[in-house]
Structure 1
Amino acid sequence: MKAIRRFTVRTVLPEPLRQLEELVLNLRWSWHHETLDLFRAVDPALWRAVRHDPVRLLGEVAPERLAALAGDRRFLRRLQDTADDLHEYLTAPRWYQTRSTPPGEGGESPTSIAYFSPEYGITAALPQYSGGLGILAGDHLKTASDLGVPIIGVGLLYRHGYFSQSLSPDGWQLERYPPLDPNGLPLTLLREPDGTPVRVGVALPKDRDLRAQVWLARVGRVPQLLLDSDVEDNDQAARDVTDRLYGGGGDHRLLQEMLLGIGGVRAIRAYCDITGHPEPEVFHTNEGHAGFLGLERIREMVSEHGLTFDEALEATRAGTVFTTHTPVPAGIDRFPRELIERYFGGPGDDDVPVERVLALGAEDYPGGDRTVFNMAVMGMRLAQRVNGVSALHGQVSREMFGGLWGGFDTAEVPIGSITNGVHAGTWVAPEILELAAREAPSVPESASGWESVRNVRGGEIWRVRRLLRERLVVDARRRLRESWRQRGASEAETSWIEDALDPDVLTIGFARRVPSYKRLTLMMSDRQRLRSILLDPDRPVQIVIAGKAHPADEGGKRLIQDIVRFAGSEDVRHRIVFLPDYDMALGQLLVQGCDVWMNNPLRPLEACGTSGMKAALNGGLNLSIRDGWWDEWYDGQNGWAIPSADGLATPERRDALEAAALYELIEDHVAVTFYDRDAAGLPRRWLEMVRHTIATLGPKVLASRMVRDYVERYYEPAAASARAMSADKYAGARALAAWKRRVAAAWPRVAVEHVESTGEESPHVGGLLTVRVLVDLGTLEPGDVTVEAAYGRVDDSDALVDPAYLELRGGEPAEDGRIRYAGEIPLARSGAFGYSVRVVPSHPMLSGRAEMGLVALPAAPPGMTNGDLR
């Protein structure tokens, strides 16, 4: 008989072992190897059986074993030391607390930051992630904890998480959604002081409410709030809102995002009220899924502080950071506008009128779809600071969303970039960390310290790399055997798995989600050539592959089936394997055990891609299309760049060209370098590349660099802006909203009436070009604008290339109410040179000249630029 409900009964630990529960309930164990070693010592066999899940470990360990440990003085000393170490980690000052502008003392550092994400990859024991977005969010929280950055994480608790993947007998992806009991996870329920569970609610049409309880996870020093709609207050439809990650569509997806954004802000307010934690000054929206948090903050300010919608919008934007993670339009959530009207247009929504909500998400720019509500567009309009996740992705994002700032060149669209990083404690093998501590103890997070890696003995690097490769091979065989048995194979039919893969063969890893643009099967473009690479008698290659397709992506599932069928061929199945159910645990094995990390997306559709960073920190080399982070940091010595044919060929021709380049690199460069050994059996050139990779990429790819960048370039400026807006009962927000309203109304009359220049008759390098401009400001004052000249090199169409800007002096009245400005442009380069002028709004509380999307340019040409000055 099948149980109708599943729940977890927790073990009551003997008093001497009570600190084990404290250790389990703080997820620092997921990246702290000493704590993991302590859990392993509780029962090594059971630790392996429960797949390194300490909650399950303590739930299943025999009472006799607990009694024995309670009397084991050596274990108890070890337990006490580990608990003391955790306490010191949680309380001692860290990087953030020792900065020159400490939080809460008049400096710029925010006292608290809220970080919203729809998914988090903290540990495989808490399966609340599907791919790179969640893994990045998990690494962000862990690193914030390590640095002492006062972040509060906010997300949803999915009762079925993301799906578990298996394969059918013919290689088709199958999905299973195993139920999760929160009481069996390292979580506690957030409760009011009287012990009742906290409830937050979101109003729905027809007088319904979507209610949620709040689970608290401790990610080191970072509290993480996870909202769960499976409560008795809800009807069945509402209870199912948090059933699974990215489950359903339409109403279901919208309700998830309303609960995350609106309910998430309310959960933060409840948490801060109960615990005394400082209220966040900065809100960081990780992708558009959480964008509704801005609407809730606007509602709070309108209802509690008497602000108008526009005033509350300015106050909200000032303290909000929005990070976009996808250069693929299909990866952005869009909803029919009528669906938004249904959920935001009811009675009681006067503080946040539905027409204003719709305007925030409207694609009302050239090429936009007027019928949809775009969550990323709303997120950008609700945030004063926006960024992509690599330099190339920032450029692509400026092109994608440039219509929101019409009138400005793409380079001036206010979308910056902070390249992602990875959390070393999570992804770097303990053996690598031990080797670094022993052989290169001076490795800090600075380039000079990392240079000491170049002195690490090659034999030691090679020994550890072989150990990690062997660990991957052993686990891959286990996973293969389980998968083939699930697919119906007999024991006799799986005997070949004993010899699958080889710990001494060059091992290439390829693991990721399986949308079409990541091109899982590019390596199979020429199957015979791939076979010859795998089976080369002198320089064999083996490839370990993993990945999940979205349950609704039939095309992605076909790609998986193609690779599974090829990998099942008797002649190559010992050299190429597909491992199902890709998760964090498998990801760790892959990035640690593979010699080469391969990535071949369609450029420029990979926003960042951090798996190759993890491999690099473990001594792996990258073999990748120059996309995402690799475009930024490939230097010719830290791996190999696959030439990209983007823009030069049809899709089929492009795949063929790039596949041929991939084969050639593996055959003539990667394999040759790996197998070229000296008299001691060491691949000297390969080891030089490994040392160079770690020395040069180490300080760049760490999430500690990424989080410090967010603190210094986004969180601190956002906190300063938010304080300026809220001071003196939001006087700054009221004044800025009134000023923007006045400027926007007057802007149609702003015009550049006349431009003239002197000094262009015989210009030479080092000379000056005097520019004089007459501007009609209509009803605006000179203090409302900046008049500037843009100048520099011009291309064949007279477009300025990477122009510099000069603010023109003046502001004095001329005839007919016009205003006169002038300035001198330096002629610092020879060749084709040009200039233009423009008027932009100017206010000390704007984040930049393009914030309002308003610009006045000269009327079409005649001779306002000086074409070809030589």
Structure 2
Amino acid sequence: MDKHNAWKKFTWEPRIAYFSMEIGISAEIPTYSGGLGILAGDTIKSAADLDLPMVAVTLIHRKGYFRQQIDPQGWQREFPVEWSPEKYLELLPVKALVTVEGRDVKIQPWLYRVKSPAGGVVPVLLLDTDIPGNAEDDRHLTDYLYGGDLEYRLKQEIILGIGGARILSALNFNIRKYHMNEGHAAMLTLDLLSNTRGRVDDPLEERASWDTHRVMEQCVFTTHTPVEAGHDKFPWDMVERILPEIVPFSLLRDLAGRESFNLTLLALNLSNFVNGVAKKHGEISKSMFPGFKIHAITNGIHSFTWTSPFFVQLYNKYLPGWANEPELLVRVDNIPDEEIWDAHSGAKAFLFLYIEETTGQRLDPDLLTIGFARRSATYKRADLILSDLDRLLHLGEGRLQLIFAGKSHPRDLPGKEMIHRIYEKIEHLKGKISVVYLENYNMDVAYRLIPGVDLWLNTPVRPLEASGTSGMKAAINGVPNFSVLDGWWIEGHIEGVTGWSIGPPPRENSTIVNGDNHEDAQDLYHKLENVILPLYTENRAGWIQVMKNAIGKNAYYFNTHVMMRRYVTEAYIR
């Protein structure tokens, strides 16, 4: 087949179109910022492993999210990520048009193929407006992930949703369902709706001529956050100036809200299946959007992608076939303890070598090493473990060390201040407790960091952690979780068996934000001093059993293979 027509083989059968503003395929293709994008990439990889007919749509983000540097005072600085799409992607000879502020904007897709060792392939289309003939400003609309101002975001979401639907049509894809991964892609429903309109002569029947039920039957929507700022809203005067009226704005107000153009509400109103990303998050979402039927499908990770090479070798030896059947990890007790520990020691040495090469700091492999890596947002409370330095020194000096990582959104000043505070406390602890902050957290850094620590820490304000998947990446590498009971950890936690909780248990059906810093910090310190450190230092066999439980009771289930099978049976073939 001609190279320029090779993509046509993907159009021969009906597919699920998976739309996401960010997709984390690999660190070399910086089209992601964090958890949402990594989940999207893992979803696509599992779809390829399971040979599911899917096509993914995103933007190319020519300058990425940003490259993080932290100055000696602990202040984050941001720089563009320069990469060459043509090195990894194939430009397809098809274009589509969208209208932005009354101007035609051309869109052209790049193709990337996610290939599974099992033989499946999922095409990923990355939309680009840097095309000759487009206005200069429009050529940069697909440059930055979550960059620019509110208008820039609205224009990007027009390109992703409306432009993505039109690109699929131009490429002759036969789409069975459209899956919107978060509300960023919700405007694809407008393109679908515009194609349903029947001819009417009576103006009074105008509203009825738009077949919303037909669009609903085609759409699946996953909402990812209980944080209000995570739901995109735009003022109507901006929308009416920038967005073409492909459906009447009067109808759009009924579907997306009268006070503002709410993309989450638009997706909810035009999707037949809606879900949150953990059982607790499903409950929270129902309370946020009363009247909508909202299911829950807990997130997962792509097992093979996030398993360190030391554990890959071990699993291949004792659990052949585990990568495509992660449920085999339930048999982890067949692996001798000393081989589990040797694999973990290899991952730890791999991480420590990276830290020494990049920061000059040398850590002690014998000390309990605690890892924390998240987007630096205040509700994630990265500095909770540092809230009482005297208590931390009392229990931890000479016994533990800490590794942090994470970016703050460029406009999130409180998040930047949190990084700065951590740096100040690192200085205070210098010479007593070793603390490292790794710059520019990305897929490559995560691949080294998560398997190489002994304990994975997570301290969000309840109930604002929708799911959280870094703890799942820890579990598959035998790293126990020490976390607030929120998101997926409510489902994965068995106290002292798979890891440990921080703070009180979740309240039944509670949607109240509950983050008592003092109470949570005291529980964290108490368990570190009296339960976790003694087990680690005095009972190696007991610690390894918790490691095995993390693998056999968490990692066997919390993965994207399990997740995708649920999407197929509950959402895609309904």
Q: Give the TM-score normalised by the residue count of structure 1.
A: 0.61
Select 2:26's aligned residue among 103, 120, 123: 123
**Structure-2 change in CA distance of 1:610 and 1:141 (3 Å):** same
Please tell me whether residue 581 in structure 1 is matched to residue 484 in structure 2: no
Deviation string 1:579-622 (CA, Å, 9 cap, x unpaired) is: 11000000111111111110010011000000000100001000
**Structure-2 change in CA distance of 1:175 and 1:119 (3 Å):** same
Amino acid at match of 1:702: N
Please tell me whether residue 594 in structure 1 is matched to residue 453 in structure 2: yes
Select 1:689's aligned residue among 536, 546, 550: 546
**Structure-2 change in CA distance of 1:152 and 1:535 (3 Å):** same
Q: Is the 8 A contact 1:506 1:541 kept in 2?
A: yes
Distance 2:477 2:513 in 1: 34
Deviation string 1:810-842 (CA, Å, 9 cap, x unpaired) is: xxxxxxxxxxxxxxxxxxxxxxxxxxxxxxxxx
Select 2:305's aligned residue among 419, 423, 426: 426
Match of 2:187 in 1: 292
Please tell me whether residue 506 in structure 1 is matched to residue 368 in structure 2: yes
Q: Is the 8 A contact 1:345 1:353 kept in 2?
A: no
Select 1:279's aligned residue among 164, 174, 185: 174
Q: Is the 8 A contact 1:284 1:320 kept in 2?
A: yes
**Structure-2 change in CA distance of 1:315 and 1:557 (3 Å):** same
Distance 2:131 2:490 in 1: 47
Select 2:98's aligned residue among 202, 210, 227: 202
Please tell me whether residue 614 in structure 1 is matched to residue 473 in structure 2: yes
Amino acid at match of 1:154: V
**Structure-2 change in CA distance of 1:304 and 1:675 (3 Å):** farther
Please tell me whether residue 302 in structure 1 is matched to residue 200 in structure 2: no
Distance 1:599 1:524 in 2: 13
Distance 2:31 2:312 in 1: 27
**Structure-2 change in CA distance of 1:645 and 1:628 (3 Å):** closer
**Structure-2 change in CA distance of 1:446 and 1:225 (3 Å):** closer
Match of 1:781 in 2: none
Match of 2:85 in 1: 182
Please tell me whether residue 330 in structure 1 is matched to residue 229 in structure 2: yes
Amino acid at match of 1:617: I
The alignment of Structure 1 onto Structure 2 pairs a total of residues equal to 556
Distance 1:214 1:451 in 2: 42
Match of 1:824 in 2: none
Match of 1:639 in 2: 499
Deviation string 1:765-791 (CA, Å, 9 cap, x unpaired) is: xxxxxxxxxxxxxxxxxxxxxxxxxxx
The answer for unaligned runs of 5 or more in structure 2 is 116-120
Distance 1:238 1:144 in 2: 33
Select 1:388's aligned residue among 276, 290, 293: 276
- Equivalences for residues 455-534 of structure 1 within 5 A: 455-481=334-360, 497=361, 500-534=362-396
Deviation at 1:448, TM superposition (A): 7.7
Q: Is the 8 A contact 2:465 2:486 kept in 1?
A: yes
Select 1:268's aligned residue among 168, 173, 181: 168
What SS does the corresponding residue of 1:301 show, helix, strand or coil?
A: coil
Q: Is the 8 A contact 1:257 1:289 kept in 2?
A: yes
Deviation at 1:176, TM superposition (A): 0.5
Higher relative contact order (CA 8 A, sep 6+): 2
Deviation string 1:610-639 (CA, Å, 9 cap, x unpaired) is: 000010000100000010000112122100
**Structure-2 change in CA distance of 1:585 and 1:446 (3 Å):** closer
**Structure-2 change in CA distance of 1:213 and 1:446 (3 Å):** closer
Deviation at 1:209, TM superposition (A): 1.0
Distance 2:277 2:41 in 1: 15
Distance 2:388 2:505 in 1: 17
Distance 2:402 2:348 in 1: 12
Please tell me whether residue 215 in structure 1 is matched to residue 115 in structure 2: no
Distance 2:514 2:278 in 1: 28
- Equivalences for residues 839-850 of structure 1 within 5 A: none
Q: Give the TM-score normalised by the residue count of structure 2.
A: 0.92
Deviation string 1:489-531 (CA, Å, 9 cap, x unpaired) is: xxxxxxxx3xx21122211110010111100111111011122
- Equivalences for residues 397-436 of structure 1 within 5 A: 397-402=285-290, 405=291, 413-436=292-315
Distance 1:231 1:567 in 2: 47
Please tell me whether residue 235 in structure 1 is matched to residue 94 in structure 2: no
Q: Is the 8 A contact 1:298 1:309 kept in 2?
A: no
Match of 1:113 in 2: 16
Compare CA radii of gyration and give the structure with the larger one. Answer: 1
Match of 1:171 in 2: 74
Q: CA RMSD in A?
A: 2.7
Q: Is the 8 A contact 1:645 1:657 kept in 2?
A: no
Amino acid at match of 1:164: R
Q: Is the 8 A contact 1:534 1:575 kept in 2?
A: no
Amino acid at match of 1:621: P
Match of 1:374 in 2: 262
- Equivalences for residues 244-259 of structure 1 within 5 A: 244-259=144-159
Distance 1:554 1:203 in 2: 34
**Structure-2 change in CA distance of 1:471 and 1:646 (3 Å):** same
Distance 2:331 2:176 in 1: 40
Q: Is the 8 A contact 1:531 1:572 kept in 2?
A: no
Distance 1:629 1:653 in 2: 18
Deviation string 1:381-406 (CA, Å, 9 cap, x unpaired) is: 1101100000000000000011xx2x
Distance 2:478 2:515 in 1: 34
What SS does the corresponding residue of 2:460 show, helix, strand or coil?
A: coil
Distance 2:82 2:36 in 1: 23
Amino acid at match of 1:603: R
Select 2:406's aligned residue among 547, 557, 560: 547
Amino acid at match of 2:571: Y
Match of 1:737 in 2: none
Distance 1:533 1:166 in 2: 32
Match of 1:41 in 2: none
Select 1:157's aligned residue among 60, 63, 75: 60
Distance 1:398 1:261 in 2: 25
